[in-house]
Chain A
Amino acid sequence: MATQKTDVVIVGVGAAGGILAAELGKAGMKVIGLERGPRLTTSDFAPADELRYFQRQDLRPNYKRQPVTWRPNAGVRATPMTLLNYGNQAGGGTVHYGALSWRFHEDDFRVRSHTIERYGAKAIPADSSVADWPMTYADLEPFYDRAEYELGVSGKAGNLKGRKIDGGNIFEAPRQREYPLPALHPDQSGVLFNEGASKLGYHPFSSPRAILSQPYQDRPSCTYCGYCQAFGCHVGAKGSILVTKLPEADATGNFKLLTGTMVYRVNTDNSGRATGVSYYGPDGSENTVEAELVIIAPFIYDIVRLLMLSKTNKFPNGLANSSGHLGKHMMAHISARVFAAFDDRYVNIFMGPSAQKHTLDDFNADNFDHTGMNFMRGAQISVAPADAEAGPIGTAMSLVPPPGTPRWGAAYRDFAAKYFNRYAGIVAQTENLPYADQAIDLDPNVRDQYGLPAPRVTYDWRRPNELARIEFLYQKLEGIGHAMGATKVWRGNLSSGAPGSHHQGGARMGSDPKTSVVNRYSQSWDIPNLFLMGSATHPTMAGFNPTLTIQALAYMAADAIVNRYKKNPGALV
């Protein structure tokens, strides 16, 4: 049993926690970071070990030791999800992410108001809890800019201060300056996607990624080996927190990282302040960190669980939950896929960064007129390998053969042999709406390796709004596949009701303490020295991958803590 004192304790040093560790350390605050997993280095990452990293998920939580359970509705027993798409080490998910780095659109921050203004209140499904963010795009823009420049994002601007630029994303919100690095070199799937989408009058572009197209800040450029999503980068070209912010935090001399530690309680006193956290050490010991400022920044499940486990007489429904909204409004991207096969050429989609390679934004957000449609919001449409990873195991698992071709036997073998390097996947990543009954709580039956109740998700994406949108998008995807010149185009499988990727919500931010958990600075309304970081705070999710927004919010919170909270600890408004 050890007790340490510090200014700031950060639980989870991933996409958000790593930024706060560096920024608060630079401001002279003593920071202790607690991390469940190890701290790895670039030299730990074997390239191309698809079995270890993709199939066996070596950089993700092990669902048998750290289960998160799922059930489609409250009437059935939940069972562990077998893929937990987030981090389990210092650097968190940024270690193994595909590094897609998007700014949300202006209307992504005000989905409710925008929809009502353009289509009327009836356009919003009655059971959806869709809400505006407590900030505008313009409020967050300086922090997006900072994240892009500090982490190293490659891309091409499509909207510089309102001036639209061909070749970039003309639908993006206005940016003040270009990306720090030019777009990555396209692979053949990107070339085909650009040609096909352009023929249809759409506006394709190279997806912005925190992957270096040129050497930057003493890091080497990408080798295009193709192992990004699910893998650690073997040269350090991916802007993982491991190679960007943690070295900065180290350099301050104010940062200490304790790995192999599992936080099981946030401690509070009778005045309602957070006093620190308690954690299990790698040897199973019970330890405490006392801190003036407590920052909770693991993935959404561990935020919600930790706050629920930390309930006291003063906070009987869990910490930061006077609103009753903790755990609610969970969202996830669902990916509709079609596959396009080419008999007359090779595509070699295994080359180059592996997640969404090129994208069109024409059917995302409210970039297209929804009048007369039976759904709201849209999807990011991209060309990508079958499971955002293009090795042969992932392809065998996720490239569903076309109708009439079996998934085993001689015909399957011949299909795999012919099309492994002659196909492209086209994927729609949908902006699913929040609903209050899509929720996270504590599983009464399943416990993790520490004996703590597993987080339990109750969630089924198959709502009328979401199903109608999926069908609309499938038709667009098929059209793009044909325009790319494919010999054959067919649909992949959809998930059953289970959540897909990029889980968000559970501790939504808002302008009203009665209907939200944190304010715009990710600060608890109830406990001012408690901050909750990460995609848990997102009130809506956009069709874009969330990481850059998580990071921009972290910079925004860091800025508020350093420039305002530090001088005058209390509620930031």
Chain B
Amino acid sequence: MEKHDAKRRAFLVRAAAGAGAVAGAGLVPGAFAETQEQGKEANPSFPAATHAHMRGDHEKLGAFFNHADAATVAAFVERIMPGAPGKPGARDADVLNYIDLALAGPYADLQEFYRHGLTQLGAYCQEKYKKPFVQLPPAQQDEVLTALDQGKATGFVWPTAQAFFNTVRTHTMEGMFADPIYGGNKDFAGWELVGFPGAQLFYSPKDMDSKEAFSRAPTMGLQSALTKISLGPSNSPARKG
């Protein structure tokens, strides 16, 4: 762990803890847990109840986000794709987990983009509402998203408000609808929402001729699809070149 990184995390943790903004994230980076364990650099006034919550049953280790950022992103993406009874949303699909894993790997070059974006988001909410984003009621969170989407939120330099919003929206859709192997679309939540049957290997003429929703086969993920292929006829000529 880089010293700078540890300090940055501790700072964000204090900011989050001071605001009590930790509920519902379901994701705690290992470094944060360690810091709490050892009592180093942690805010001595850290509320015990919050601490207990964070060490609770549903705690998971994250790959990139610190706890406060995780909580903010979880709340943000839930406003982009809110869940409702029978309509799975971002939290149901575990979009946060998708973005967290992506930023630790394929989208590592967007880490600073997210850090700056979230810092600016926090500053904007403090300035306008005197509260962090996660503590705002949904209607005010939607006001914030609208201001970002329309480029009206003040104080954004890089990324711009619209660039930040658009990127988070894109990643929300990826987390909703990408195959579950990437960490989102939990239990096919996103595919269930829109009625997409997933990684079907074929559609029959009868499927194609139907005016009804597809129901011949269960929703399939890549791992089940790939299993099926490996059972099929030989399809693996030696790699060349």
A residues touching B (Cβ–Cβ < 8 Å)?
35, 38-43, 46-51, 55-56, 64, 90, 185-188, 223-226, 234-235, 250, 257-259, 345-346, 348, 350-352, 391-393, 395-397, 407-410, 412-414, 416-417, 420-421
Contacts and interface: CB of A to CB of B under 8 A. Distances in A.
Given A50-B177, A417-B193, 15 more contacts: A40-B239, A48-B179, A49-B199, A51-B182, A55-B174, A223-B203, A346-B213, A350-B196, A351-B207, A392-B177, A393-B178, A407-B149, A408-B79, A413-B81, A421-B194
Considering the complex of A and B, which 10 residue pairs feature the smallest CB-CB distances, nearest first?
Answer: A48-B199, A39-B241, A420-B194, A223-B202, A51-B178, A392-B177, A396-B173, A43-B236, A351-B203, A257-B241
A142 to B, nearest CB: 31
B11 interface: no
Interface of B: 79-82, 84, 87, 89, 106, 109, 142, 145, 149, 169-170, 172-174, 176-179, 182, 190-191, 193-196, 198-205, 207-214, 222, 225-226, 229, 235-237, 239-241
A396 B149 contact: no
Nearest to B142: A409
Contacts of A410: 82, 84
B6 to A, nearest CB: 29
B229 A234 contact: yes
Contact of B214 (A50, A348, A408, A417): A348
A43 B235 contact: yes
A149 B209 CA distance: 29
Contacts of A259: 241
B179 A50 contact: yes
Contact of A409 (B82, B204, B235): B82
Given A39-B240, A226-B203, A391 B87 contact: no
Contacts of B106: 56
B207 A47 contact: no
B195 A42 contact: no
Given A257-B241, A352-B208, A408-B80, A421 B178 contact: no
Interface of A is mostly: loop
A260 to B, nearest CB: 9
14 contacts: A46-B225, A47-B225, A48-B198, A51-B182, A224-B207, A258-B241, A346-B211, A352-B203, A391-B177, A396-B173, A409-B80, A410-B82, A416-B193, A421-B195
A187 B202 CA distance: 13
Among the interface residues A51, A396, A412, A421, which one has the most CB atoms of the partner chain B within 10 A?
A51
Contacts of B202: 223-225
A50 B195 CA distance: 16
Given A48-B225, A187-B208, A413-B89, A55 B82 contact: no
A348 B216 CA distance: 13
Contact of A396 (B79, B177, B198, B201): B177
Contacts of B236: 41, 43
A188 B208 contact: yes
A49 B212 CA distance: 25
Contacts of A234: 201, 229
A185 B203 CA distance: 11
A408 B145 contact: yes
A66 B60 CA distance: 37
A224 B142 contact: no
